[in-house]
Chains A and B, each alone.
Chain A
Amino acid sequence: MELSTAILLTIPLAPLVGCLLAGFFGKFIGRAGAHSVTILGLLVACGLSFYVLYQITAGGAPVYNHNLYTWFEIGKFSASVGFLIDRLTAMMMVVVTFVSLLVHVYTIGYMADDPGYQRFFSYISLFTFSMLMLVMSNNFMQLFFGWEAVGLVSYLLIGFWYKRPTAIFANLKAFLVNRVGDFGFLLGISAVLYFLGTLDYATAFAGADSLVGKTLTITQGVHWDAPTVICVLLFIGAMGKSAQVPLHVWLPDSMEGPTPISALIHAATMVTAGIFMVARMSPLYELSSSALSFIMIIGATGALFTGLIGIVQNDIKRVVAYSTLSQLGYMTVALGVSAYSGAVYHLMTHAFFKALLFLGAGSVIIAMHHEQDMRYMGGLRKYMPVTWITMWIGSLALCGVPFFSGFYSKDAIIEAVGESHRWGASYAYFCVMAGAFVTALYTFRQMYLTFHGKERFTVKAHHGHGHDAHHDDHHDDHGHHEPGVLEHAPTESPWVVTLPLVLLAIPSLLIGFLTVGPMLFGGWFGQAIHVDEANNVLGELAGEFHGALSMALHGFNPVGPFGLVLLAFAIQTYIYLFNPALAGRVKSALKPLWTVLDRKYWVDDIYFAVFARGGVKLGRLFWKAGDAAVIDGALVNGSAGLVQKIAAAMRRLQSGYLYHYAFAMILGLILLLGGFWLVGH
């Protein structure tokens, strides 16, 4: 049975209605009203998304591809608003709405005392709408709409606490860096229209083969391969949105936003839009092995080198942020070796365990009264057991320990890279293997610093004056009187916070085991993802796949990623549980290396100096030298001045004295007669 348009339309519109109600009528409906309407909208969207997934997978519903209305139609070109619902879309819809729903619930606890409560719910519902429009789109125009709309919401949410200078710096930076990516993306869309004459996915993919052999003339005699140009340009968009090197710089700063959105937008969903996009465009990407090599190398570099930065971070959220950068690198590598399903599969497992880690970190931050520095934590496990256990589940999934969901997706990616013969694949393989070690290093360090070892904070003796339970990080002055000194002992977070943790821990633990067979190796995505037979590394791996259980058992191989995880586990356990002083000694011994990582390879500093300061300098130069000096100074006011000078000279002639005129007349007469005389001779 074909999916109904009304149901599909309800899915994005329900959160939009919630957003509008909470945003425009927040004052009238109050806090409870705001979270009720938005959560209701999300419940509807999430429930229907599950229904759609069921229909598409088991209900026998065919792929839905219809336009809702024509956005523009000019000659043979047109763009529409419409939906393409296949298995890839259905999976994304479920991930987006499920995580978003849990984040909505979590927010009730996390933002309980924030004055911008209604506004926050309005934003996250708007985000859900935008993200759904992005993933459900059946054409490039709507994709770009969703793409930029999620960027807008990200901008609004990073700058949610708009009084903080760091927050409003970070949101501008995020938007502009994303725009650099979008610049490439827009050109990519233009190239698609130029070569394929359409913005509709289905038509474009159907005609993709016609691209082979076509070239784009760059200058005389320089012709670039059309599929490569298209794919690289589109991927530049993904580099912005999915924070790939060298456009990754905005993501760590985005942690200025409240934690729930770090989980939803900057880990689980929005940042994976680029991955989704490339997977969606697989019929195009399969045409260009150069573009895929480029993608693989970019992804591999990010996977390793951003992970390394995570090791030296002290802010609990920043560790998770760098971990996200690194994991996005893994997904990108998978795209680069044509393991699109692997990338999307890792996207899904990562959405669960990374949202869990972020929300867990948020739970810790609540307990620590908005202290985010892990150096003032430690031993929290006895205060907050639910957070502790669920975060361990998330961490083990992140490290890729067999049986956890992250194992299935990550191990498959590493294996796929090992199988690939793409140019640069050995470099990528080194990066993803080393990356597995690095991941385990920062993850165990984070867990030990936070939950284990000695308590590195003290609790103030209670003075009896009514304690203020407000934990609104809205006020910068709050909670940081003295680092490591708390007003009262940390406690487990309320149920609205821990329930989402538990609900995310379940898929983090199980989803891989349950779904790896069909989704990764069983061709579950069907026609939604297209891989050339020659590139089908996952297909080759599928031959060796004998069920989730045997894959996990094989995963306990000490000469493989698991061995590296064990090694990292041993190192960090020794350092942080038995010999904490060693950490400091290692740090001073490797001071230069530590500095490089602490300065984030100086990439931010260079960008700021060159693009921000340089841009302003260039602007001033243009303005002062071009507009003010040349155009206005020399030309406009200069001609006015010249006219004035001529006029002044003329005026001097008209002095009003009779003898001046008489003299001039005589002079003129002499000149005239003299002239005639000269001509006459």
Chain B
Amino acid sequence: MFNHLLSLLIWLPVVGAVPVLLAGSGRPSLARWLALAVAVLTFAVSLFLIPQYHLDGAVMQLGEDHLWIASLGVHYGLAVDGISVALILLTTFVSILVIVGAWEVIQDKPHQYMAAMLVLEGLMIGVFCATDALLFYVFFEAMLIPMFILIGIWGGPRRVYATIKFFIYTFLGSIFMLIGLIYLYQKAGTFNLHALAALPLSMTEQTWLFFAFLLAFAVKVPMVPVHTWLPDAHVEAPTGGSVVLAAVMLKIGGYGFLRFSLPITPDAAAHFAPLVIVLSLIAVVYIGYVALVQDDMKKLVAYSSVAHMGFVTLGIFIAFMLVRDAGNLDAAKLGMQGAMVQMISHGFVSGAMFSCIGVLYDRLHTRQIKDYGGVINVMPWFGFFYVLFAMANSGLPGTSGFVGEFMVVLASFSANPWIALFAAFTLIIGAAYTLWMVKRVLWGDITNPHVAEMKEINGRETFVLVAFAAAVLALGIWPQPLIHLMDNSVAQLVQQLAVHKI
């Protein structure tokens, strides 16, 4: 089983979706339980990654390689490093919670919903495992389909606009990546990422390729100014769709930078690092202000996602400045690790925030902040979780939200204190938009009579929130195990940054 652990992880949920689908609309309960069983099994299998991945071994491990399309030299190549392992565990963890979260909430065609979720899970794991650029691309694009369906069928009233915007945005970005990959294939005769990383490229070539990759991944992250699909997609998506979108799919953008931009176009990436850094800082400050004035809770959290993901791109690209300008490898590692921890942490925190909004929405069927107020009076336990996750979203030490941002700010200061200054502004603006929302939703006296009828969270909802809370606190109190898991991989990435290709 361990020889094909990665394949198992990818295909278990995808194949598992078939019986769920076959269970049909007539037996929704069976479909739910089957889906849960598949998700739990996948999570259990993914746990084997921890003992199987040797922390002091080679960086890429558990590899599988089969020739897939002989005429193009495309391989079905899989392997993972510490970063992939962390992201896969995040995916399998969140998938369980999404299925539990949707349990009785999705009444319309629950079997299809669950099946789409499982397929999505498998494809996302595939993205994190692929070592062949074309295989990566296939998973990357295929992932859009279940998400398109999730928003398009179970979404809100403006779901058509949102799905089309979502699809065209991401597709437009990835088309350029495909062109870039074709060019690379022409040149290297292979899609193997390891080989492409070793391929010498001129600065002009690197520049074109860098921007092709940037477009694809910037849309996914999303970075300013290609972020506007995210609030729309979130607002229209069902809760589970939002959770997966925020918790896992956005990470694929950050992950793409690590697998493509950094190793293949290091010189162009170093040259344009200031551009990406400025865009990241705009995400923190400008988007922070935009988040402040949102009336819709989901939009607010969506914008807050853009701001928090700014730390991911900042941490990755600050490493270039630190390595190439300052020669400070340790600080570069700090920034890169910060970006990685931020990815995982944002997975937990944003997933939790969207789950909380889902809990509220299921009761009152509105996401408008002004319709709430005084929720704590009727839902004290919910209030506990909501405040906890809000604090994590504001980067409170002791929660996961602090760790990555702390490390990125520390590293940024070593590159340029002004960058750290703008990044640290998140302490103020992040707390402002999050806690102002908490004030208007949770605190105060009840003004809307419907709020008075809201019921405390049930056992199923409590389970989801407890799981997120445990993850948020564990990572906040002791991040070292996660950092240790990714240490070798990050060290290798940082080394690659220093290598000139020209």
**Which residues of A are in contact with B by a Cβ distance under 8 Å?**
69-77, 141, 144-145, 147-149, 152, 155-156, 159, 162-163, 165, 168-169, 172, 175-176, 179-180, 182-183, 186-187, 189-191, 193-194, 216, 218, 615-616, 618-620, 622-623, 626-627, 631-632, 635-636
Complex contact B436–A186 (CB within 8 A): no
Query: Which residue of A172, A218, A622 is within 8 Å of B439 (Cβ)?
Result: A172
Complex contact A194–B427 (CB within 8 A): no
Complex contact B444–A632 (CB within 8 A): no
Q: Interface range on chain B: under 10, 10 to 19, 20 to 34, or 35 or more?
A: 35 or more
Asked if A149 meets B330 with Cβ closer than 8 Å, knowing A175-B435, A187-B413, A622-B286, the reply is: no
Asked if A183 meets B424 with Cβ closer than 8 Å, knowing A75-B334, A77-B330, A175-B435, the reply is: yes
A186 to B435, CA, bound (A): 20
Asked if A149 meets B428 with Cβ closer than 8 Å, knowing A163-B444, A218-B417, the reply is: no
Identity of the chain A residue whose Cβ is nearest the Cβ of B436 in the assembled complex: A172
Complex contact A176–B428 (CB within 8 A): yes
Q: What would 16 more interface pairs be, CB under 8 Å, given A186-B409, A631-B228?
A: A70-B480, A72-B479, A77-B331, A159-B443, A172-B435, A176-B431, A179-B427, A183-B425, A186-B427, A187-B417, A190-B410, A191-B417, A616-B292, A618-B289, A619-B289, A622-B290
Q: Which 7 A-B pairs have the closest CB atoms?
A: A75-B330, A190-B413, A619-B293, A619-B289, A145-B397, A619-B292, A168-B443
Complex contact A168–B478 (CB within 8 A): no
Most chain A CB neighbours (cut-off 10 Å) among B290, B406, B410, B413: B410
Complex contact A162–B421 (CB within 8 A): no
Most chain A CB neighbours (cut-off 10 Å) among B291, B334, B427: B427
Query: Which residue of A149, A176, A179, A626 is within 8 Å of B290 (Cβ)?
Result: A626
Query: Which residue of B228, B409, B417, B479 is within 8 Å of A216 (Cβ)?
Result: B417
| B381 CB, min distance to chain A CBs, angstroms | 10
A156 to B396, CA, bound (A): 14
Query: Which residue of B334, B435, B444, B478 is within 8 Å of A69 (Cβ)?
Result: B478
Complex contact B396–A148 (CB within 8 A): yes
Asked if A168 meets B439 with Cβ closer than 8 Å, knowing A75-B330, A75-B334, the reply is: yes
- The secondary-structure label for the interface of chain B is helix
| B379 CB, min distance to chain A CBs, angstroms | 13
A218 to B417, CA, bound (A): 8
Most chain A CB neighbours (cut-off 10 Å) among B290, B402, B403: B290
Complex contact A187–B374 (CB within 8 A): no
Q: Which B residues between 256 and 298 are near A, CB-CB below 8 angstroms?
A: 286, 289-294
Identity of the chain B residue whose Cβ is nearest the Cβ of A630 in the assembled complex: B225
- List 7 A-B residue pairs with CB atoms under 8 Å apart, sorted by A's residue number: A77-B334, A144-B397, A147-B397, A152-B396, A179-B432, A183-B424, A622-B289
B165 contacts the other chain (CB 8 A): yes
Q: Which residues on the A side are within 8 Å of B410 (C-beta)?
A: 77, 189-190, 193-194
Complex contact B483–A615 (CB within 8 A): no
A675 to B420, CA, bound (A): 63
| B440 CB, min distance to chain A CBs, angstroms | 9
Q: Which residues on the A side are within 8 Å of B420 (C-beta)?
A: 187, 190
| B361 CB, min distance to chain A CBs, angstroms | 22
Identity of the chain B residue whose Cβ is nearest the Cβ of A216 in the assembled complex: B417
Complex contact A636–B165 (CB within 8 A): yes
B25 contacts the other chain (CB 8 A): no
A70 to B483, CA, bound (A): 11
Q: Which residues on the A side are within 8 Å of B377 (C-beta)?
A: 163
Identity of the chain A residue whose Cβ is nearest the Cβ of B494 in the assembled complex: A75
Q: Which residues on the B side are within 8 Å of A141 (C-beta)?
A: 397, 406
Complex contact B286–A626 (CB within 8 A): yes
A77 to B403, CA, bound (A): 14
A194 to B330, CA, bound (A): 11
| B89 CB, min distance to chain A CBs, angstroms | 19
| B334 CB, min distance to chain A CBs, angstroms | 5
Complex contact A623–B330 (CB within 8 A): no
Identity of the chain A residue whose Cβ is nearest the Cβ of B415 in the assembled complex: A194
Complex contact B228–A627 (CB within 8 A): yes
Identity of the chain A residue whose Cβ is nearest the Cβ of B337 in the assembled complex: A74
Q: Which B residues between 393 and 441 are near A, CB-CB below 8 angstroms?
A: 396-398, 402-403, 406-407, 409-410, 412-414, 417, 420-421, 424-425, 427-428, 431-432, 435-436, 439
